[in-house]
Amino acid sequence: MALLEIDAVTKRFGGLLANHEVTFQVDRGEIVGLIGPNGAGKTTLFNCISGFFPPTSGTVRFDGTDVTGWPAERLVHRGMVRTFQVVRTFPDLTVRENVMIGAFARTNSASAARKIADEVLEFTGLAPRADVLGANLPIAQKKRVELARALATGPQLLMLDEVMAGLTPAERVQAIELIRAIRERGITVLLVEHVMEVVMPISDRVVVLDSGKKIAEGPPQEIAENPEVIAAYLGEKYRPRQEEAGEG
């Protein structure tokens, strides 16, 4: 059953068409990768889905409800939360306090928020850093704090915007393991990434954008062999000729 349904979503900024009639869905329990070259419209689409600005046209449905144009805070209380490509850790708060901010979406009690935060910190491997100020963390841990803060809201759908960007290969492996563990907790994941090698191993399905349009959707192996996807990432000269692709 679909948890998130995107139906013909279009976003214009004046004369710029950032997304054009994008349609796909994310089923409960899936990890879906949303990929595309730089400038493909991935983050714009994320913003339309997650309430940071409304689509120009089209529909966003979440858990069976039309949530098109809902503000982000309302969606968080409904069970949809996202992280940001640019890390937004509160530098003057501790790691625990950063995560507690997310927990306040579920409770008005400071003690309850602290309990939720400590459980999430344990789950994400951040417990040893609980009392460290956000400003004193390396980028990989800042990204993990933002992810932990999102988890503390108790989401049904976790939307991750380039959570792997800037990480070392070893840190990427750890992040992939954490995303799989999140799915095992029953949380559905929609993951935006620019690097195909990162998103392919963990995605059940992959949606590909190019110039604001969806150009492909399917299992990772099928997407990796898709001529349009190869051309979008590597350039037109890499597109197989029709006879070579067995279509001539």
In sequence order, the β-bridge partners of residue 84 are none
pLDDT confidence band for 246 (50 / 70 / 90): very low
- β-strands 80-82, 31-35: how paired? unpaired
Q: Is the pLDDT of residue 197 over 90?
A: no
pTM for the full model?
A: 0.91
In sequence order, the β-bridge partners of residue 96 are none
Q: Is the pLDDT of residue 238 over 50?
A: no
Q: What is the pLDDT of residue 247?
A: 41
Residue 133 lies in a domain: no
Q: What is the pLDDT of residue 34?
A: 96
Residue 176 lies in a domain: no
> What proportion of the chain, given as a percentage, has pLDDT over 70?
94
Residue 82 lies in a domain: no
pLDDT confidence band for 85 (50 / 70 / 90): confident
d(CA 22, CA 160): 19
The whole-chain average pLDDT of the chain stands at: 91
Which residues lie closer than 8 Å to 189 by C-beta, 6 or more apart?
A: 30, 31, 32, 157, 158, 159, 160, 179, 182, 183
d(CA 9, CA 62): 14
132 touches 94 (CB < 8 A)? yes
Q: What is the mean pLDDT of residues 103-123?
A: 97
d(CA 121, CA 144): 9
Domain with 199 in it:
1-74+190-248
- Count CB atoms within 10 A of the CB of residue 141: 21
Residue 204 lies in a domain: yes
Q: Is the pLDDT of residue 236 over 80?
A: no
- Worst-scoring range by mean pLDDT, 44-48, 73-77, 195-199? 195-199
Residue 117 lies in a domain: no
3-state secondary structure 122-168: HHHCCHHHCCCEHHHCCHHHHHHHHHHHHHCCCCCEEEEECCCCCCC
- Tally of domains in the chain: 1
Q: What is the CATH number for 237?
A: 3.40.50.300
Residue 224 lies in a domain: yes
